[in-house]
Structure 1
């Protein structure tokens, strides 16, 4: 169990543990309970492995969010113990491999030319996409868990104490810094910034989404996803723990003990919102919105009016990943390393796979060819197709 307070990691004993974000305790809006046992499922759809490999020791028992970078025809993945690989997205063939001397805390970020990682010692490193060779490095003021993000000209890193720092991608020279306000206690989470040509969107543990100008880091607008309530610091947790989802000229965001909202990306004006509590960003597909709630429920809302269509509660408190949409199905992972397959139509469980006994934490990703990429905490990297059983 981990709670981040003033840059420190504190441990304690509470009634239940939410290991997905290193938090234990009770809140005013969520009654924490023990995770339900893995449900028995009569599978009608199965996971067909396209390719699979291991990337070092994965998170190596660290509480990290090392998500692979899906760059079209190539997948880049890193492990906490310093292994960096480039893999053919179609075949899984290893294109190149680097054994870094550093332990890695955040990544993989990238643009057309470079990859970006943050080390345990809080160095931001730029590496070549061609062979993984180091191009430059610069020290950050403190640790970062979120993967650095780049628009090709600027690379932006966000540290756990709320600082947002922008660097020139060619030289590593610092362009600007924005100092956000963080509460005394927050989730050990990793909402990566969104970096566009003109705007950088940064999510903070005080429940605010802030738009910064890409050229100078000046605040343009801010939106409150969650408002702290309650008497204790635990009750007042309102972190935005998942990277917001950009939809044309709007951005969709959800927060812990906050709300699900759609915001105009140009002005910060709310288009709509509804009460929600989630540790992940929402996902959209087929005109609907899908959300993994903080209590483990998977919920579907109709996009046109946000009316609840269905709720699947058989995965309660299993610390689910963000849902991935695969044709007429949703896929989520859990803290014990199971993959669960749900019908997008009614939320029923239609498939299941035991994948990585170390658990699943980072989001599942759809690839350019439609396949599903999964990276487990233990370092197992796989690509699947879904197929109906005969």
Structure 2
């Protein structure tokens, strides 16, 4: 069963809830843990997967440091402070940098400026592989910074959002929303949609003016319920799915839903127990629930198009849809391809035997996965 750390916001009395959940998680990893579903052989010649290139970046430890693609560059970071830019078509190294500290969040880039955050809560921005500036932050960061419009946006674990000038490092604004004292130590939602910065703040999706930091709209995707703070935790988890003006996200262990992000209109919300992000392609929204059941929802109304239970309890990553396939990685380092139309297995390919972390990312017509051991693998399918 998947486990997820919780983070208390200041008061020591909140620690007991986090420790209790950690103890329960430790129990779930014992002999009573559900066994992974045995792998089936995909249909013969359904899809042919080609390995394009592989690289290594170093130890990722426990962090799902998802890479980001900008044009023909793939930029990624490792938990021990390495930042690397690769050519997407060949895997050729373009530049490599050392931040000098362990990282707490993934990487953001616009192709010129690249941002990461250290475990000491320091925002570090690189320019052409060299450190341009640093800024100390007051709250812990687990969500990758967003670099867009000559700004660096940071979403903190206390649900605050901050904006910095990408060139100078000057702080432009901060936006703080009230929230529950217990927070999820897992990457959240932060992305641009036209002229709006969209961020998850608790169970709500919020549209923020990127120039001023004012809230334009906010829409709840879930209504937290429960008898204690742990049960009521419903923060939105990343990555979010986006197609055009529609953003789809998952509320931790509560719901999945889609919002029209120009005006802030809830399109639909469906109950779903899960903790990994979504992918949207305009027709369907793909997600993995807490038992590793893969589901495709119709993006228009949230009705279920298909569900696959062939990979239950295999520790699946968030999904990616590419070509005719939905791509997910698992805890044993396998990458699985399912039919985009009906969820039937199409192909399976191995990486390095360690868990696929984060979500696969699209790089042109190929996709890239990163493993716990620091392997970077690019594939395509025909």
- TM-score strictly above 0.5: yes
Q: 1:99 to 1:315 in 2, by over 3 A?
A: same
Q: Residue 35 of structure 1: CA displacement?
A: 4.7
- Counterpart check, 1:380 vs 2:382: no
Instruction: Give, in whole Å, the separation in 2 of the partners of 1:18 and 1:372.
Output: 32
Q: 1:179 to 1:102 in 2, by over 3 A?
A: same
Q: 1:305 to 1:176 in 2, by over 3 A?
A: closer
Residue 49 (structure 2) aligned to one of 44, 47, 56: 47
Count of equivalent residues: 369
Gaps of 5+ in 1: 25-31
Corresponding residue of 2:234? 238
- Counterpart check, 1:158 vs 2:155: yes
Q: Residue 137 of structure 1: CA displacement?
A: 0.8
Report SS of the residue matched to 1:92. coil
Instruction: Give, in whole Å, the separation in 1 of the partners of 2:309 and 2:342.
Output: 12
Partners of 2:71 and 2:111 within 8 A in 1:
no
Q: Residue 165 of structure 1: CA displacement?
A: 0.9
Instruction: Give, in whole Å, the separation in 1 of the partners of 2:213 and 2:195.
Output: 10
Instruction: Give, in whole Å, the separation in 2 of the partners of 1:314 and 1:37.
Output: 7
- Counterpart check, 1:361 vs 2:357: yes
Whichever structure has more helix as a proportion of its residues is 2
Instruction: Give, in whole Å, the separation in 1 of the partners of 2:286 and 2:242.
Output: 15
Q: 1:146 to 1:35 in 2, by over 3 A?
A: farther
Instruction: Give, in whole Å, the separation in 2 of the partners of 1:185 and 1:38.
Output: 37
> Which deviations, in whole Å up to 9, do the C-alpha atoms of 1:64-88 show, x marking residues without a partner?
2211121121111211112222211
Report SS of the residue matched to 2:107. strand
Q: 1:3 to 1:304 in 2, by over 3 A?
A: closer
Q: 1:297 to 1:169 in 2, by over 3 A?
A: same
Corresponding residue of 1:91? 90
Corresponding residue of 1:27? none
Gaps of 5+ in 2: none
Partners of 2:318 and 2:359 within 8 A in 1:
yes
Report SS of the residue matched to 1:279. coil
Corresponding residue of 1:105? 104
Corresponding residue of 1:177? 174
TM-score by length of 2: 0.88
Partners of 1:149 and 1:192 within 8 A in 2:
no
Q: Residue 201 of structure 1: CA displacement?
A: 1.4
Q: 1:317-328 counterparts in 2 under 5 A? A: 317-328=313-324
Q: 1:287-326 counterparts in 2 under 5 A? A: 287-326=283-322
Partners of 2:351 and 2:377 within 8 A in 1:
no
Instruction: Give, in whole Å, the separation in 1 of the partners of 2:312 and 2:84.
Output: 35
Instruction: Give, in whole Å, the separation in 2 of the partners of 1:149 and 1:54.
Output: 24
Partners of 1:168 and 1:174 within 8 A in 2:
yes
Q: Residue 176 of structure 1: CA displacement?
A: 0.9
Corresponding residue of 1:28? none
TM-score by length of 1: 0.86
Report SS of the residue matched to 1:107. coil
- Counterpart check, 1:188 vs 2:188: no
Report SS of the residue matched to 1:244. strand
Residue 258 (structure 1) aligned to one of 249, 254, 257: 254
Q: Residue 299 of structure 1: CA displacement?
A: 1.0
Q: Single out whichever of 139-148 and 246-255 deviates more from structure 2.
A: 246-255
Corresponding residue of 1:29? none
Residue 220 (structure 2) aligned to one of 204, 220, 224: 224
Q: Residue 146 of structure 1: CA displacement?
A: 0.9
Instruction: Give, in whole Å, the separation in 2 of the partners of 1:352 and 1:314.
Output: 13
Q: Residue 33 of structure 1: CA displacement?
A: 6.0
Instruction: Give, in whole Å, the separation in 2 of the partners of 1:93 and 1:276.
Output: 40
- Counterpart check, 1:330 vs 2:332: no
Q: Residue 233 of structure 1: CA displacement?
A: 2.7
Instruction: Give, in whole Å, the separation in 2 of the partners of 1:337 and 1:234.
Output: 31
> Which deviations, in whole Å up to 9, do the C-alpha atoms of 1:97-123 show, x marking residues without a partner?
223322222221011421001111111
Corresponding residue of 1:141? 138
